[in-house]
Structure 1
Amino acid sequence: MGKPMQVIKRVLWSSFPAVLIVAILQIYSQHKLNIANGFNRRISDSTLNMAISAKLASGHYYIAGLSADEIYLGNQDTSGLIRSFSYNLDRSWSRVLDVPPAIRFAWGAARIYYLRKKFILAEGITPLIFSFGLTGKATRTNTPNWKQFDLVVPSDSLFVCRTLDTFHHKNAITSQQVNTSENSSVDILKQQPGGIFSTDGMLLHDSTVGRFLYVYYYRNDLVSFDAGFEHVRTGFTIDTNTIAKIEISKIKSEHKRTFSSPPKSVNKFACVSDGRLFVYSGLRADNEKGKLSYMACPIDVYSVQSFKYLYSFYIPDYDHSGLHDMAIWKDKLVVLKGSHISVYSMGSNSIKESNIALSARVKTLQ
């Protein structure tokens, strides 16, 4: 056998393991794609009108709130910055919220909220809360004996927060009255294996029906409650993940715990509007096929009052970046994806059952 043939054989044998590994990974990925998650989606036959989009200076913006005429964005890097846009994205202005220099303010933990013609600037480490009129100066909200918080939802007369119960090392929901020392906590966040990490989620408020909601990231549980915690209700999203699939490791040298691998996100993001809960799901339904499963963001819609599942629709995701924030005002859907802001007009929400989970708008994704 000549030397050229021997060289060819060596090349083939040396490349065979790499080819085999690639083939195995392709088979495995296809197998995972075909694994059933145990639920189907009911797809609305309404459509999202083509989005109006604009590029932002960075991907660090979040939605601080919406009004009838304006979209208000905050910025994670510049905590006091507000950018406002019209819904056509043809008008914008910027403003910086500031606090008196003598006050020590944890800017790195601060977040802006828009509430009924005023802005709320809150940080939960001190904690401190300031309110600003649309053009006026800062007014400090008195927060005597308030507990530290990492999530907060402002309303007209009180702030509902997620606080840390340091004695039991678990999260709690606390209602803290404005300008008083009165607060009350309730143990409604149920821990699972994984401890405090298993209760991570999103805190929301729907002023239309007067309910606060908590949506877990890593399992299908939903909780709603009123301001006095007198009427607590529980429910589920349509997926079947009842137990948070997370793995925790201890770092002894730093005396802390962290995720040992990326957790499985069941509910990636959520918002509320006019009695409806909109959940950006992280899971593929059994009746979703082909490119749809990775070229669109599924939004599942529920009743805030009963947690009844109503329907689903899709937001196109051609660049696979997903969305990191969304909010709804009437028929306007505002979405942040990467460094872009997009505004959709939503159609009527009639429902149809479908074994091929595609609306007319999403068929273009095939």
Structure 2
Amino acid sequence: MITNNIYIKLLGTICLSIGLVVIVFLSSERQVHRNNAFTRRYPPHPVVKQYDLDIGFNSYYIAGLDKDMLYLGNRTSPWHLLQVNLETKDTSHIQLAPRSHTLEYRAIKVEVLPPYFFVMDGTMPIILRGKIGEWLADPWMREQAYFNKAIPIDSNTIYIRTTHATTHRSTLGLIQKKGEHIKVQLDTTLLQAQIDGVFDVDGLLAKDLSGTKLGYVYYYRNQFFTMDSILASLSRQRTIDTVQRAQLKIASKGNSGRTILAAPPLYVNRTAAMSKHLILVLSQRLGRNESKELLGQASIVDVYDHTKNTYEFSFYLYDIDKHKVREFTVGQNRIIALIEDHLSVYLMTDRYFNAVPSRETERQMP
């Protein structure tokens, strides 16, 4: 009888422990998308959907924009571009080619910056450049700078993120070409480490269409910063979210000692785009009085004025067949979003995106 009582108590303790773990887990899952510490402002109709366009595959990514022409690269067919006329909705397929077929590559990314296009692989490393219309790529840089992210900002300058050879931390920089000479400029002060200087500073490169303003948006903290095209005039800003420190669980893998993420990270900012004085940040976090059902129907985009250090307003980009926005870009008076195998095109209301806010409506960042 005593033994049975002990077993019953043990079983009860185990069930209670499991129940508490489940409750804590469900509570933490709710907190991933819930933060009552901030309130968004939703003005009426800042964007209006123009149309959705079926592009056939979900492997496309945004490679560039030239007025009404959108260029999409393809992860599974790296030498292929899809050209989309945003005005007429006409599409055409473009086959890129290297002029030299002896080049080696592993992970190609294409970026279109009129009048050129760039083919980049930071693992080899190699960068090729060619003219739009000719679609033949010549070597622009070979084996002089490794990188893991890169976007061209003019015909002879590439904005990169790389791993510093000495510190082994992520670092931002520029690759510049003058004649046949390549110059690599790195600035180790831009990315601010909180944990390891690699995972905790992960984020995305951004630039405005003119290439005169550069940005970096952290994935796992409520911060982004902007600079000019030579990595100067630095301005750091916080988003309306309150997660100031990256919430990551990092572990070592095997005997190699290579670090990996031991659990899915908490994303504060998923993707972003710059447009003139504004930076648009897609968030998956709910603020005060926002329904959790909302995230099952749309993505939230928060708009900041990086010249005034202000939060301006927010709006929705709606899901298609329960698929969410992967990335988006801004051009002229449009927002173009990739959602699974569709393109969503929204028109931007001029009075919200181009108006200079009055002092009464400015919202200063903490």
Amino acid at match of 1:276: L
Does the C-alpha gap of structure 1 residues 290 and 212 become closer, same or farther in structure 2, counting only changes over 3 Å? closer
Question: Whole-Å Cα distance in 1 between the matches of residues 309 and 222 of structure 2?
Answer: 12
C-alpha deviation, 1:50, in angstroms? 3.3
The CA distance in 2 between the partners of 1:298 and 1:242, in whole Å, is 19
Question: What is the distance in 1 between the residues matched to 2:33 and 2:303?
Answer: 25
| % identity of equivalent residues | 24
Alignment of 1:168-317 (within 5 A): 168-178=167-177, 179-187=180-188, 188-208=190-210, 210-289=212-291, 291-317=293-319
Counterpart AA for 1:103: T
TM-score by length of 1: 0.82
1:149 partner SS: coil
Give the 5 Å matches for 1:1-366: 28=27, 32=31, 35-88=34-87, 90-106=89-105, 108-143=106-141, 146-156=144-154, 157-178=156-177, 179-187=180-188, 188-208=190-210, 210-289=212-291, 291-317=293-319, 319-350=321-352
Q: Partner letter of residue 242 of structure 1?
A: Q
Question: Does the aligned pair in 1 maintain the 2:169–2:196 contact within 8 Å?
Answer: no
Change (3 A) 1:98 1:290: same
2: CA distance, partners of 1:62 / 1:30: 30
- In structure 2, relative to structure 1, the CA distance for the partners of 1:213 and 1:350 (3 Å cut) is closer
Local SS of the residue matching 1:292: helix
Q: Is the 8 A contact 2:32 2:285 kept in 1?
A: no
Mapped partners of 1:190, 1:27: distance in 2: 32
**1:293 to partner: Cα distance:** 3.9
Q: Provide Cα deviations, 1:143-199, integer angstroms capped at 9, x if missing partner.
A: 266320011121223111111113211011111112422221101101112441001
Aligned residues: 332
Task: Please give the alpha-carbon distance, in whole angstroms, between the structure 2 residues aligned to 1:62 and 1:41.
Answer: 29
Q: CA deviation at 1:224?
A: 1.5
- For the Cα contact (< 8 Å) 1:281–1:297, is it kept in 2? yes
Alpha-carbon displacement from aligned partner over 1:210-241 (angstroms, at most 9, x marks no partner): 11111000001212122333321211111011
Match of 2:78, as an amino acid? S
Instruction: Measure, in 1, the Cα distance between the counterparts of 2:41 and 2:172.
Output: 33
Tell me the alpha carbon deviations over residues 275-317 of structure 1, each in whole angstroms, 9 at most, x when there is no partner.
Answer: 2111101211113125224322100111233442111111112
Q: Tell me, yes or no, if the aligned pair for 2:122 and 2:146 is still in contact at 8 Å.
A: yes
Amino acid corresponding to residue 125 of structure 2 in structure 1:
P
Q: How many Å apart are 1:262 and its aligned residue? A: 0.5
For 2:186 and 2:103, how far apart are their aligned partners in 1?
A: 27
In structure 2, distance between residues paired with 1:170 and 1:29: 30
Query: Structure 1, unaligned stretches of length 5 or more?
Result: 1-15, 352-366
Q: Contact (CA 8 Å) 2:53, 2:89: kept in 1 or not?
A: no
| C-alpha distance in 1 between matches for 2:336 and 2:208 | 17
Return the letter of the residue paired with 2:246.
A
Secondary structure of the 2:296 match is helix
Q: CA deviation at 1:200?
A: 0.5
Larger relative contact order (Cα-Cα within 8 Å, sequence gap ≥ 6): 1
Helix, strand or coil at the partner of 2:246: coil
TM-score where L is the length of structure 2: 0.82
Distance 1:134 1:34 in 2: 43
Letter in 1 for 2:120: A
Q: For residue 49 of structure 2, give the secondary structure of its aligned residue in structure 1.
A: coil
Contact 2:211/2:229 (CA < 8 Å) preserved in 1? no
Q: Distance in 2 between matches of 1:64 and 1:184?
A: 24
Cα offsets for 1:26-48 (capped at 9, x unmatched)? 98489648953411111122243
Paired with 1:30 and 1:251, the residues of 2 have a C-alpha distance of 26
Greater Cα offset, 309-318 or 261-270: 309-318
User: Aligned AA for 1:46?
Assistant: H
- Is contact 1:130–1:138 with CA below 8 Å preserved after alignment? no
Give the CA RMSD over aligned residues: 2.8
**Alignment partner of 1:49: what SS?**
strand
* Counterpart in the other structure of 1:357: none
Distance 1:126 1:32 in 2: 41
CA distance in structure 2 between the aligned counterparts of 1:34 and 1:268, rounded to whole angstroms: 13
Please identify, of 29-38 and 240-249, the stretch whose mean Cα deviation from structure 2 is larger. Answer: 29-38
Q: Which whole-Å CA distance do the structure 1 matches of 2:352 and 2:132 have between them? A: 38
**Equivalent-residue separation in structure 1 for 2:120 and 2:200 (angstroms):** 25
Q: Secondary structure at the match of 1:291?
A: helix
Q: Secondary structure at 2:58's aligned position in 1?
A: coil
Stretches of structure 2 lacking an aligned partner (at least 5 in a row)? 1-14, 354-366
Do the aligned partners of residues 268 and 312 (structure 1) sit closer, same or farther apart at CA in structure 2, a change above 3 Å counting?
same
